[in-house]
Amino acid sequence: MKQKRLALADIPKGEVSATQQGAVVRYLGELQDIGGLKGTDIANITDVSKATVSRWKAGSMKPHPRNELILSDLTYIVGRLQEYYSPDEIRSWLYARHPQLEGQRAIDLIHQNKSIDVLRVLERLDAGVFL
């Protein structure tokens, strides 16, 4: 069954700041703790400076909706990968070129709004196909 995720952009404008900041801070924390990703990694995938990522984490600035989607997708994928890998292995997996992704890196596909391609690979991993 397919679940529809609530995108932060779907939250009425007047309600965005507290909810959005909480979600973004949570995403960033999970990406660091579970995915082994650093601020520099997140800055690279979202095409912003490391200082901007720090402002997101502090709650003093909110990401553009496109970057919110990238953070959401990345957090979901990292959550799926934690079933199989340690944080350091997850970071390596995201940066590695994969034959199942036609030699592309998962991190680049997520940036290009092609997370579904990465999720297909994870479905094969769930089915026990060696990656």
Which residue did the predictor score with more confidence, 2 or 54? 54
> Of 11-20, 41-50, 55-64, which gets the smallest average pLDDT?
11-20
Look at residue 16 and tell me whether its pLDDT is greater than 70: no
Asked whether the beta carbons of 115 and 75 are under 8 A apart, the reply is no
Lookup: tokens for 97: 């070129």
Asked whether the beta carbons of 54 and 39 are under 8 A apart, the reply is yes
State the burial class of residue 83 (Cβ atoms within 10 Å of its Cβ: 0-12, 13-18, 19+).
exposed
Look at residue 2 and tell me whether its pLDDT is greater than 70: no
Q: What is the torsional sign of CA 103, 108, 114, 116?
A: positive
